[in-house]
Amino acid sequence: MGFSLRPFHLFSCYDMSIIPKETAEQLAQLIRAWNAKGFSPATSTNYSFRVGADRLAISKSGRDKSQFSAQDFMLVDLKGRALPPFEGERSSAETLLHTVLYEENEAINVVVHTHSIYGTLLSDYYLKQGNLRLSQYELLKALPQFDSHEVDFELPIFPNTQDIEQLSEDFRQLYLAQPTTIAYLIAGHGLYTWGKSIAEAKRHLEALEFLLEVHYKKLLLAPH
């Protein structure tokens, strides 16, 4: 099965209150698969895809990701406000961490977030230095900017906070200064990454989660 995202602009007379079923089902299937890998314990994590220039489909808050289905998405605008017919429903508590990306880059179509053990531990461990540097791993070539393993990839780390609006503005400043950023960590919390398609966001997420696990296990082998 392919994981391409159908360009929304092809639907000139498309009903904008409808969430595209095929895309929602593709992403829901991946969300369940990532849950099985331990990326989203206890209702954690959130996911979204662009539905138009001014709107996105995002996971509703508190959903069990092992049971996630297309019906667990709802529509919000770029300010994170619920759109018809979803008024009164609660989108992800971290909705603004998604909307900031769709606002700042119209090429972004999918945003994903994980709460893996390795992302949680390493983001906390490296918070003081402000980033996690990954070098010399072949899988770095799954990231867009690299065609060699002999590179230094720095994953920014933000302190965790319950003030998601402030965190989204802090991230906006970083993204405006460094628009090639493809992911970041929140300390003791997890990973955000994104892409222009489901396939690209999937590649980033799976490569980064693999690299986090490898890096953690390397520290165990050779502590420093």
Cβ-count burial 91-113 (b if 16+ within 10 Å, e if not):
bbebbbbbbbbbbeeeebbbbbb
Cβ closer to ligand L4RZE5RM: 29 or 160? 160
Contacts of 66 (CB under 8 A, 6+ apart): 32, 35, 36
Please name which of 171, 173, 198 lies closest in space to residue 185, comparing C-alpha atoms.
171
Nearest distance in Å: CB 90, ligand L4RZE5RM? 8
Cβ closer to ligand L4RZE5RM: 160 or 214? 160
Cα distance between residue 78 and residue 75, in whole Å: 10
Question: Three-class SS of residue 133?
Answer: strand
Cβ closer to ligand L4RZE5RM: 45 or 109? 45
Encoded tokens for 97? 């961490």
H or E element, residue 168: helix 164-177
Nearest distance in Å: CB 79, ligand L4RZE5RM? 17
Q: Which residue is nearest to ligand L4RZE5RM (CB)?
A: 92
Q: How far is CA 221 from CA 39, 127, 216, 217, 224, in A?
A: 23, 21, 9, 6, 10
224 is in an annotated binding site: no
Nearest distance in Å: CB 102, ligand L4RZE5RM? 16
Please name which of 153, 202, 217 lies closest in space to residue 180, comparing C-alpha atoms.
153
Cβ closer to ligand L4RZE5RM: 26 or 44? 44
Nearest distance in Å: CB 169, ligand L4RZE5RM? 18
Nearest distance in Å: CB 189, ligand L4RZE5RM? 6
- Using CB under 6 A, list all residues that contact ligand L4RZE5RM: 42-46, 59, 61-62, 92-94, 113
C-beta atoms surrounding 155 within 10 Å: 23
Cβ closer to ligand L4RZE5RM: 100 or 140? 100
115 is in an annotated binding site: yes
Please report, in range form, the residues annotated as the binding site for Zn(2+). Answer: 113, 115
Residues contributing to the annotated binding site: 113, 115
